[in-house]
Chain A
């Protein structure tokens, strides 16, 4: 028993000793092994070799042979760079990124799924290899200010291709090439130029290896994904504290009419952050330009406002045009309750019993007309529904209800002209449409009762005829039976 115990302990001791000695020799060998590739190329003044000594990969123990193949331990050049030792020389085309993927597999996977990994002209290689952005032999940590992909440098790297008209035209002729130019004028670009690493650069919004086409639903800058991307920085009060701007824009936006349309209803025509602020040239629209921004979509409203008496007044008071009444990020659905001359309405903020009285009166009149339109429309819809439930054919009237909705919308739009005569004319058109449809509804309901009474009269006449005939037949039969 004891013999076995001793033998067991001896075997274990030999095993551990072998392990420790092995490890010692391996480390020693690695440290002492000379990288002849680097040694010779450096001695020859090869720029690449000199640069590589500052490369992060060198620092991490990656040798020349790891990318170029060959055997760095051989001092004989022919042997070191022989085919037998898998020497490949300068990697070409997709082989470059494939070599990087040996260690950076996730990044490579993202790259080949990205727009850069899919676009190609000849089909022999993807348009962007790892080295296109990261450089060769001088790759540094992204936190290093000299790194190509450092927050302060990356925009220039992207611009290398994206501002090159001739180059971009080959791959995507539709793609603009002024992004970098615009970026430099944006708030983000200005801060970036001032060496603020927190300011957004290309990769902050587009991502890095995983960049996708803007129309790709997985793209970070796809319309409905964008607000959340912006909110990463703009809703982070700690991150934004140096800039002294609010951080509640995203929260307000998601509850706004635009946010609900885009994010909840999936209406891609609804504006996202970039539609008002610009994307590459992102900047808050100023007092002067806000109506131009809103006017991109609300063209008619903007045009009416520009001609309205409010334009001059707002300009004088230095008030932003649309924003003053509708707000900015938190824009709610425009309702009739916004207009009027009572407390709580927007008009009342400037027009009340004591100041700007003319506007106060007009606002009251407009509201009264709007209310009557709504009330009349409700009555008409009820009437048509009633007629339909009575089994009457009212498809034409129902179709015309759409015209009423359109006319009501026009009336609400014309408010932006802030001219009572124009408003009255438009509202009269809506009113006359409502009266037309109402009369169709009334006609249908009257027709219903007419039919009921007509039926009663007809059945009464037919019944009288039938009874008379019955009596006559009975009389006739009695007479013939009597014979």
Chain B
């Protein structure tokens, strides 16, 4: 029987690209099935939301103008005049937040299942870098509508950066494009948001995904690998399950974007006094709130400087955990790490709630 047109097209492509090798590789890939398998999906969800960010971001770029005088008006134009512009903008904003939430869940799941241990230290490092980049995406994107809240939140945010000893001031001036938050800051943040950060992010994403594919899924420490351990083929079973979750996330995203459209607010006026109730994005809230609780002076040091330095040290230590958690590296149970992770989660949740209540 003569093969149908699709088959023939496949053969034609295969002759040139050698698909068979890839399929053979995929067919050999298995994902372990156990009580913690659910956490495997959050990396995929983060990736899916990132893809949505890229697609909606490109669409917004068709109309957005990264200029002090036009930014706010261009977003309003997108929301009122452009067909489905409101939806694209709302999805972009909601998806950004969900992506950071998914990234946090993914990071903590990797942390608690100790998946950062040898041989996946680089995977963890690339993941952490991507998380910081995602926060950078959030911070830079927040300013782009050039509305009042974003303007003053950026002012406060970059003020905090400025307190870091020695390097703080130069970084602040670099971020702001001058002494104050102005149109130059907007142009800069726009550049970071649509060119620099995506470029760097893509490199790390490529390495991260490559390593995940090469090393496969990590087994939690408490699960002892057995010969007869239940597994599922990566292709198509795991991929289809991933797809199913993506559809559910897409549904949630659509509901949020339509029922709770992202507001535009009031255009920023650099000469106006700061409005009451300036708050950063929720993922920065715990840090912001902590800085509020720290006294003005701790011994001979400035309280804010101490706070910022503590967060930097904590971030560095967290990122380098595969290298100092020797017990886990030796394959031993390290409850201290679990308690540390639990403390961090509770701290973040509590301070975020307090931040919104205050």
Contact = CB atoms under 8 A, between A and B. Distances in A.
On whether the two chains bind one another, the answer is: yes
B251 interface: yes
A473 B251 contact: no
Interface stretch (A20-28, A196-204, A389-397): A389-397
Interface in B217-264: 232-233, 236-237, 240-241, 243-244, 247-248, 250-251, 254-255, 258-261, 264
A104 to B, nearest CB: 51
A393 B237 contact: no
A473 B79 contact: no
Given A451-B258, A452-B258, A454-B258, A469 B240 contact: yes
Contacts of B259: 455
Interface in A457-473: 458-459, 462-463, 465-466, 469-470, 472-473
A351 B258 CA distance: 58
Contact of B254 (A391, A455, A473): A455
Most A CB contacts (10 A, CB to CB) among B233, B251, B264 go to: B251
Nearest to A459: B251
Interface in B268-293: none
A473 B237 contact: yes
Contacts of B79: 393
Contacts of A470: 244
Contact of B251 (A451, A452, A454, A463): A463
Given A396-B80, A476-B237, A480-B233, A469 B255 contact: no
B76 interface: yes
Nearest to A466: B247
Interface residues of A, number: 21
A459 B255 contact: yes
Contacts of A455: 254-255, 258-259
B264 A473 contact: no
Given A395-B76, A466-B251, A477 B258 contact: no
Given A393-B86, A476-B236, A476-B237, A458 B254 contact: yes
Interface in A65-118: none
Contacts of A465: 247
A476 B240 contact: yes
A473 B244 contact: yes
A463 B244 CA distance: 10
Interface residues of B, number: 24
Given A454-B258, A476-B236, A469 B80 contact: no
A87 to B, nearest CB: 66
Contacts of A480: 233, 237
Contacts of B247: 462, 465-466, 469
A454 B86 CA distance: 13
Interface string A383-423: 00000000101011000000000000000000000000000
Contacts, number: 51
Interface in A435-483: 451-452, 454-455, 458-459, 462-463, 465-466, 469-470, 472-473, 476-477, 480
A57 B244 CA distance: 110
Contacts of B243: 469
B241 A473 contact: yes
Contacts of B264: 393, 395
B278 to A, nearest CB: 22
Contacts of A451: 87, 258
A459 B244 CA distance: 14
A480 B30 CA distance: 13
Nearest to A469: B244
Interface in B75-94: 76, 79-80, 86-87
A393 B264 CA distance: 8
Contacts of B240: 469, 472-473, 476
A469 B250 CA distance: 14
A455 B240 CA distance: 24
A395 B232 CA distance: 54
A477 B244 CA distance: 14
A291 to B, nearest CB: 44
Nearest to B240: A473
Nearest to A395: B76
Contacts of B87: 451
Nearest to A462: B251
A462 B250 contact: yes
Contacts of B261: 391
Nearest to B80: A393
Contacts of B86: 393
A463 B237 CA distance: 19
Most B CB contacts (10 A, CB to CB) among A393, A396, A452, A480 go to: A393
Contacts of B248: 466
A393 B76 contact: yes
Nearest to B250: A462
Interface in A343-388: none
Given A463-B251, A473-B241, A480-B237, 7 more contacts: A393-B76, A393-B264, A451-B258, A458-B254, A459-B254, A469-B247, A476-B240
25 contacts: A391-B260, A391-B261, A393-B76, A393-B264, A395-B80, A395-B264, A451-B258, A454-B258, A455-B254, A455-B255, A455-B259, A458-B254, A462-B251, A463-B251, A465-B247, A466-B247, A466-B248, A466-B251, A469-B240, A469-B244, A470-B244, A473-B237, A473-B241, A473-B244, A480-B237
What 4 A-B pairs have minimum CB-CB distances, sorted nearest first?
A466-B247, A455-B258, A462-B251, A393-B79
